[in-house]
Structure 1
Amino acid sequence: MIDYPAAPDTPRSHLPFSPCTRVGDLIFVSGQASVDATGQIISDSFEGEMRRSIENLRKVLETAGSDLAHVVQTRNYVRDASDLAQFNAIYPDYFREPYPARTTITNCLTEALRYEIECIAVVKAT
């Protein structure tokens, strides 16, 4: 069975996709960016956008029955390669060793966003 968990405070996009999809014990989270609950982009410094994006990811995961500790893979999109050092410095604030599998792509976002993250996670054991 496929489920599409969402709560009123789950960040949503105006684009046609779900914040996450849950299949069994796997959770697939769509790209989370620096947006508010209505999907409006909140421009900020790279650090501000990265932290807001990961906090949005956390909200989506909690709604689906998981958390950051149960993330098995992340895909990260960094607009400017010059922000990679800061990205690598902030990342351990949210993900601990042994780190999830990770892919990071640079020079790929529009001017509207500095950072975006998506992930695959497992449901927390109850």
Structure 2
Amino acid sequence: MTVSYPRDPGTPVSHLPFSPVVVAGDFVFISGQASVDEAGQIVSDTFEGEFRRSIENVRKVLAAAGCTLADVIQTRNYVREPADVPLYNQLYREYFSEPFPTRTTITNCLPPALKYEIEAVAVKPKGQD
């Protein structure tokens, strides 16, 4: 099995010790993506703003691996405030559609600087190397 760590110039970076994406065979593993800019600095915003920025970061990391959001088969989501879960479900449907990826959502788990974070697993489309 081939393992790679693809990066594009627009891929968000982190100063923490992890890879944003690891491709192992046909599987693509995306580390937690939060509301950060390309330099890895947290961008505080409303829940919706942080959610959208986090998903766009996932989209960038997936693109570096030759994938899109349509290739995602699993997500793990971290929502700081339980009161944001209804909005989270509404926004999630804008980015993912049926058949939805498998999903786990955990609340009350993020530091005060973040309102939302997402990690994902995708499968490379046939014909992608």
Give the shorter-chain TM-score range: over 0.9
- What is the aligned partner in structure 1 of residue 79 from structure 2? 78
Match of 2:33 in 1: 32
Distance, in Å, in 2 between the alignment partners of 1:52 and 1:87 is 13
Unaligned runs of at least 5 residues, structure 1: none
Q: Which residue of 2 aligns with 1:13?
A: 14
- Paired residues, number: 126
Q: Which runs of 4+ in 1 moved over 4 A?
A: none
TM-score by length of 2: 0.96
Work out the CA distance in 2 between the residues paired with 1:66 and 1:32: 16
**Secondary structure in 2 aligned to 1:60?**
helix
Asked whether 1:52 is paired with 2:74, we answer: no
Deviation at 1:125, TM superposition (A): 2.4
Q: Name stretches of at least 5 consecutive residues in structure 2 with no aligned partner.
A: none
Partner of 1:99: 100
Paired with 2:22 and 2:72, the residues of 1 have a C-alpha distance of 14
2:24 is equivalent to residue 23 of structure 1: yes
Q: Percent identity?
A: 61
Q: Distance in 2 between matches of 1:118 and 1:98?
A: 18
- Decide whether the 8 Å contact of 1:10 with 1:56 is kept in 2: yes
Q: Quote the offset at 1:124 in angstroms.
A: 1.9
TM-score with structure 1 setting the length: 0.98
Distance in 2 of aligned mates of 1:60 and 1:19 = 7
| Equivalent-residue separation in structure 2 for 1:43 and 1:27 (angstroms) | 28
Helix, strand or coil: the match of 1:57? helix
Is the Cα contact below 8 Å between 1:67 and 1:124 reproduced in 2?
A: no
Q: CA RMSD in A?
A: 0.6
